[in-house]
Amino acid sequence: MPDQPILVTGAAGFIGFHVARRLLAEGRAAVGLDNLNDYYDPALKKARLDILRGERDFAFEQIDLADRAAMARLFAGQRFEKVVHLAAQAGVRYSIDHPHAYVDANLAGVVNLLEGCRHHGCGHLVYASSSSVYGANTKLPFSVNDKTDHPISLYAATKKANELIAHSYSHLYRIPVTCLRFFTIYGPWGRPDMAIFAFTEAIVEGTPIRLFNHGRMRRDFTHIDDVTRVVLKLVDQPPHDEGAAASARVYNVGNNHPEELLHVVAVLERELGRAAVREMLPMQPGDVTETFADVAELMRDTFRPQTSIEDGLADFVAWYCECYRI
């Protein structure tokens, strides 16, 4: 394996898998880290990992971010010039009943990662935040310049904390850090707990789709191909240290085009050739009615994600039908 591979945390997860796969396709070496937990079916994580393990320049470490000693050994064992941190305990609703999982992975785990970067010469940390940090903001679209001081779920609070912790490490130890606030990522190999996957599964099985707020929701759905292109472009563009408070920057990564949830269901029905059974439910705690990304900074430094919901869902459904032999 070439010297100085890029560390990709959450490599068996949805976004981490795609990022690692794209790095390898471009001839770059990657070390993937994941704890392979059972938040959702580990078989899907292992299937992603099997694909990565077939690549010559990939190595895998099964480590929990919260394991301080194991993380210290990982960083001491080899030098990572760049780190793409995509591992996290995800899910807004899950955080209501399982708070400690978020404290362990999203707080203690992030500090362990940053300590590794601090002591072993990491030249750039790119890490995942979330559109959930905007909380109950009503000003649309969400701008990276908006205040994010009022999270409405523990998940969102931990993501906001990640941003603050990373900024403080950047200030204290001059670690260049890039924060990516992801907006509803979807696509092949996606997470089963997310809407697109869950809706598709329900339509295929003839079970009800749960539509919260009676379906009156809008989301800025962002296709995974756009996301991976953004990450790979930015990983080689660390923020410059020009004597500012910190070498840190923040981007919204979204499609800049909210979609009505009912329209998404209609497109899935058309792609699958089956009608959905709709179950209308009230708003859930921790949810917001709409997300909408202002991507001005992203467009300035990279490009505007622009995969249409129709093209993106056709891509997802094709993968789902092949993967699950529909």
Selecting among 40, 94, 127, 155, the annotated active-site residue is 155
Q: How is residue 50 written in tokens?
A: 């099997």
Secondary structure of 238-254 as H, E, C letters: CCCCCCCCCCEEEEEEC
Contact by Cβ (8 Å): 34, 8: no
| Main-chain dihedrals φ then ψ at residue 309, nearest 5 degrees | -65, -35
Phi-psi region at 122: left, alpha or beta (left = phi > 0; alpha = psi -120 to 50): beta
Q: Which one-letter amino acid corresponds to residue 26?
A: E
Q: Which of 162, 175, 168, 165 is nearest to 75 (CA)?
A: 175
String of DSSP letters for 259-304:
EEHHHHHHHHHHHHTSPPEEEE-PPPTT--SB--B--HHHHHHS--
Q: Residue 313 and residue 306: Cα distance in Å, rounded?
A: 13
Cα dist from 76 to 57, 113, 116, 120, whole Å: 20, 12, 8, 7
Q: Is 155 a catalytic residue?
A: yes
Active-site residue set: 155
